[in-house]
Amino acid sequence: MLVGQAVAAGNSPPNSAATAWSSADMAAAWAQVVGMWTSGAESPYAQLLVSVSDTESTLAVIRGPPDSERPARLTTHGMLKAMTTRPRLDLEAARERTIPDVLPEPGALLLVLFCGINPGLYSAATGWHFARPGNRFWPALHLSGFTPRQLAPCQQDLLPGFGLGITNLVARATAQASELHSAELKAGREHLAGLADRYRPRVIAIAGITAYRTAFARPRAITGPQPDPLGSTRVWVVPNPSGLNAHTSAPKLAEMLRELRAAAVGE
């Protein structure tokens, strides 16, 4: 069973295709996997594919640097620290950054294009949408049936394979959505209209009722389907999935996304 990409710990394995790993080796590799997935950094060491089959573990070497450039084997202390300590991100440096949309190739099936308000600093620092720990987007996406398993933010590029995409009303990152100007949100409507015209999603789902009210000049709008489409694309509003949104629990958000999914797939 494929379980991920890891950075090698310790000496180079033999030149043969694979070599067995001990439990300590596996634990050390997973500790570094956690560090890579949390920080979003690309490894300067080896690109390895870890395969696990019952009690045997094999390490298939795809590419690696000279031995002198490999990190030393993690100690137990270092392993635990890597697994429990979150890397420090320079959030202030991420202010005003933009992150790419997640979109399929034009012409490919796009059931729902999810639209955030704008990237938060944590998302801008990592390059992943809805990335801050505690954000309910990824769990709710799975619980509603959009994805067969819960994806991590770093797996966002898998979404087009499920007929999904992500964009934002406003591209620039801020610490809080309240830092945005109303003119920016209103311009976001035109951005969505352009995406609707090019990618033809069945539904655009805006995650944030307050932002929607400003962007679409509908001050009394409520969550759910909206009356005015963007071309042939239906517009839907779901609650902001931020963990700071105390008004909507994770199960409630999943329930609302389940309703959205039914509308998008025609159930």
Span 218-261, pLDDT tens digits: 999 999 999 999 999 999 999 999 988 878 888 999 999 999 99
Mean pLDDT in residue range 160-178: 96
Residues 6+ apart with CB under 8 A from 224: 236, 237, 256, 259
pLDDT tens-digit readout, 13-31 = 334 333 344 444 444 444 4
If asked whether residues 172 and 96 sit together in one domain, one would say yes
Residues 6+ apart with CB under 8 A from 206: 115, 169, 192, 212, 215, 235, 236, 237, 238
- CA-CA distance, 46 to 59, in Å (whole number)? 12
Amino acid at residue number 81: K
- CA-CA distance, 30 to 34, in Å (whole number)? 6
If asked whether residues 142 and 252 sit together in one domain, one would say yes
The domain containing residue 170 runs over which residues?
92-265
* Residue 221: CATH number of its domain: 3.40.470.10
Domain count of the chain?
Answer: 2
If asked whether residues 45 and 169 sit together in one domain, one would say no
What pLDDT score does 267 carry?
67
Residue 217 region by backbone torsions, left for phi larger than 0, else alpha for psi between -120 and 50, else beta: left
| 218 closest CA partner among 246, 253, 256, 189 | 189
Domain boundary among 57, 84, 111: 84
Domain boundary among 26, 51, 84: 84
Pairing mode of beta strands 112-116, 164-168: parallel
The pTM of this model reads: 0.69
Instruction: Please provide residue 50's backbone torsions phi and psi, each rounded to the nearest 5 degrees.
Output: -100, 125
Other C-beta atoms lying within 10 Å of the C-beta of residue 92: 9
- CA-CA distance, 232 to 156, in Å (whole number)? 26
If asked whether residues 77 and 113 sit together in one domain, one would say no
- CA-CA distance, 127 to 39, in Å (whole number)? 10
Q: Is the pLDDT of residue 8 over 50?
A: no
If asked whether residues 33 and 128 sit together in one domain, one would say no
pLDDT tens-digit readout, 177-210 = 999 999 999 999 999 999 999 999 999 999 999 9
pLDDT tens-digit readout, 96-123 = 999 999 999 999 999 999 999 999 999 9
Other C-beta atoms lying within 10 Å of the C-beta of residue 145: 14
Domain boundary among 54, 84, 114: 84
What pLDDT score does 218 carry?
97
Contact criterion met (CB below 8 Å) for 180 and 170? yes
